[in-house]
């Protein structure tokens, strides 16, 4: 299988934070989620991958053979959108259209206008325009998305695109991902970060879990759902099963946690209920383990 | 096609089951293309990898073949294999029926009578 990006040991050292030797892939033709708590290093990694921040070491290979993110040829193939203030706040959608057209070869003004209409942002050709600062957070994000989706790219990289959107808009976002991927079947990829995966579950094909500047798990969602199981049980058995669990959370009546599927038979012997976890449940278990390990 | 997102049956299995049924019933014929993986994901509002897994399952059963770069196509079903598949379905449903019968304490004779009755209704 081809990869849109292969990340080989990328590091970034700050005074109080180190992004440490990230090894990961973004498979071509799929939507990849970068999942982690706040401060896990998601944004730092995305910024490095998109050439916004420099790196201390390591390298990334894009589309099989490109490595220089400062190369315009590469940048033209990537649609990047940060989580906040992507454009100056006194800009209007008309100004955005003008500047995107100037900055990128593949910006399609017509498509931008269509997307603005679809997102109910107004008409970029109209005289009277609202400035970005007057828009709600959700509408700002919609504006950024319209701008980035109006370019004909092969890879979308979006930092926390869903966090400021209401449930309906998140659903539209998921649809947009699937639409983007299916328009050029197998050639396009999406990478997005999130700390709330539940709404994005059905738009996620590959997941990269990060904690404390490191990648702690990654894989295709369907494979991860076979690797891990969700276990429920009575409190009286909690101590016996604890050693087989990835991480643990329980109360006086019962417990619920993630374990490796290879331990399923053993866990069933302790009168537990074993299920396939959702991506959300998987994320909680994996990230909780990372938090416990840190202590 | 319809999908239960909160069912305990994985979504990829639901998709595979519905396509399998269409192939076995002859609604999808030899040489027919399956919907594109990403197109189906878009229609059903599910992830691409889930659709892909469903297609891979059908492919491993020999019902469809992946044509590189072009998607999946329905294979010619040889009659013996088709019958084999239908027999497997039949056995599965009968096993379910036997299970219900045991719970209800219904004996073989009564089950046979029920089967005969249903069979004759269906023939009309």
- Say if residue A159's pLDDT is above 70: yes
Q: CA of B106 to nearest chain A CA: how many angstroms apart?
A: 30
- Checking DSSP bridges between strand A18-27 and strand A3-13, what pairing results, if any? antiparallel
Distance from CA of A276 to the nearest CA of B (A): 8
Q: How far is CA A36 from the centre of its chain?
A: 9
- B7: closest chain A residue by CA: A276
- Residue B34 pLDDT exceeds 80: yes
With beta carbons under 8 A apart, name residues in chain A contacting B38. Answer: 29, 178, 181-182, 185-186
- pLDDT tens, B36-90? 999 999 999 999 999 999 999 999 988 999 987 778 999 887 777 778 878 888 9
Q: For residue A238, what pLDDT band results from cuts at 50, 70 and 90?
A: confident
Q: Residue A127 burial by CB count (10 A; 0-12/13-18/19+): exposed, middle or buried? A: exposed
CATH tag, B11-74? 1.10.10.10
* % of chain A surpassing 70 pLDDT: 100
Secondary structure of A149-189 as H, E, C letters? HCECCCEEEECCCCCCCCHHHHHHHHHHHHHHHHHCCCCCE
pLDDT surpasses 80 at A259: yes
B-chain CB neighbours of A221 within 8 Å are 47, 49-50
pLDDT at A104 over 70: yes
Q: What is the pLDDT of residue B123?
A: 67
pLDDT digits (tens, 9 = 90+) for A15-46: 999 998 899 999 999 999 999 988 899 999 99
The answer to ipTM > 0.90 is no
Q: What is the mean pLDDT of residues A163-167?
A: 85
How does pLDDT run across A194-227, given as a tens digit for each residue?
A: 887 888 888 999 999 999 999 999 999 999 999 9
CA distance A30 to B76: 30
pLDDT at position B36, please?
Answer: 92
Do the chains contact at B42 and A182, CB–CB below 8 Å?
yes
B63 touches chain A (CB under 8 A): no
Residue A119 DSSP one-character state:
T
Could you tell me the domains of chain A?
3-219 (3.40.50.300), 224-294 (no CATH)
CA distance A278 to chain B (A): 10
pLDDT of residue B26: 84
The answer to whether the Cβ–Cβ distance between A178 and B48 falls below 8 Å is: yes
What is the pTM for the complete model shown?
A: 0.84
For B3-14, b/e burial (b = at least 16 CB within 10 A) is beeeeeebbbeb
- Torsion angles phi and psi, residue A223, rounded to 5: -70, -40
**pLDDT category, A181, cuts 50, 70, 90?**
very high
Interface touch A275/B8, C-beta < 8 Å: yes
Across residues A151-155, what is the average pLDDT? 94
Closest approach of A265 to chain B, Cα-based (Å)? 19
Shortest CA gap A178–chain B (Å): 5
Whole-number mean pLDDT of chain A?
90
Q: Which of A221, A275, A276 sits opposite B47 (nearest CB)?
A: A221
Report the pLDDT value the prediction gives residue A257, as an integer from 0 to 100: 87
Work out the average pLDDT over B99-110.
92
Query: Tokens 């029920």 map to which residue?
Result: B114
Are B49 and A202 within 8 A, CB to CB? Answer: no
Q: Which residues of B touch A181 (CB under 8 A)?
A: 38, 41-42, 48
Answer yes or no: do A181 and B12 touch at CB < 8 A: no
So what's the pLDDT on residue A12?
A: 94
């Amino acid at each position: 299988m081809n990869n849109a990006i292969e990340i080989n040991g990328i590091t970034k050292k700050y005074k109080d934070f180190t992004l440490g030797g990230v090894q990961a892939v973004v498979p071509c033709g799929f939507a990849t989620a970068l999942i982690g708590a706040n401060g896990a290093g998601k944004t730092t990694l995305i910024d490095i991958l998109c050439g916004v921040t420099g790196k201390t070491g390591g390298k990334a290979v894009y589309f099989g053979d490109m490595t220089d993110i400062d190369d315009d040829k590469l940048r033209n193939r990537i649609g990047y959108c940060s989580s906040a203030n992507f454009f100056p706040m006194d800009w209007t959608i008309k100004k955005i259209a003008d500047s995107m057209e100037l900055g990128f070869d593949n910006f399609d003004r017509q498509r931008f206008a269509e997307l603005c209409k679809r997102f109910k942002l107004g008409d970029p050709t109209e005289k009277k325009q609202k400035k970005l600062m007057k828009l709600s957070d959700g509408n700002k994000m919609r504006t950024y998305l319209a701008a980035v989706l109006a370019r004909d790219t092969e890879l979308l990289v979006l930092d926390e695109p869903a966090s400021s959107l209401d449930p309906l808009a998140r659903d539209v976002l998921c649809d947009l991902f699937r639409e983007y991927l299916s328009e050029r079947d197998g050639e396009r990829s999406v990478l997005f970060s999130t700390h709330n995966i539940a709404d994005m579950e059905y738009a996620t094909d590959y997941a990269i879990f990060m904690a404390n500047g490191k990648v702690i798990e990654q894989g295709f969602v369907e494979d991860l759902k076979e690797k891990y199981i969700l276990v429920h049980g009575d409190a009286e058995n909690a101590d016996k099963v604890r050693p087989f669990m990835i991480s643990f959370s329980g109360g006086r009546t019962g417990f619920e946690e993630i374990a490796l599927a290879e331990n399923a038979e053993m866990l069933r012997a302790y009168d537990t209920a074993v299920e396939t976890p959702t991506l959300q449940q998987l994320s909680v278990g994996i990230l909780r383990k990372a938090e416990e390990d840190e202590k | 096609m319809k999908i239960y997102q909160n069912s305990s049956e994985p979504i990829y299995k639901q998709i595979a089951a519905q396509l399998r049924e269409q192939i076995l019933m002859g609604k999808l014929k030899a040489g027919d293309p399956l919907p594109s993986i990403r197109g189906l994901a878009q229609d059903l509002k599910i992830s691409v990898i889930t659709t892909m897994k469903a297609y891979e399952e059908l492919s491993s059963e020999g019902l469809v073949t992946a044509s590189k770069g072009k998607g999946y196509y329905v294979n010619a079903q040889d009659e013996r294999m088709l019958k084999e598949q239908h027999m497997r379905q039949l056995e599965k449903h009968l096993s379910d029926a036997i299970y219900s019968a045991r719970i209800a304490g219904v004996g073989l004779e009564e089950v046979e009578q029920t089967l005969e009755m249903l069979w004759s209704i269906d023939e009309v």
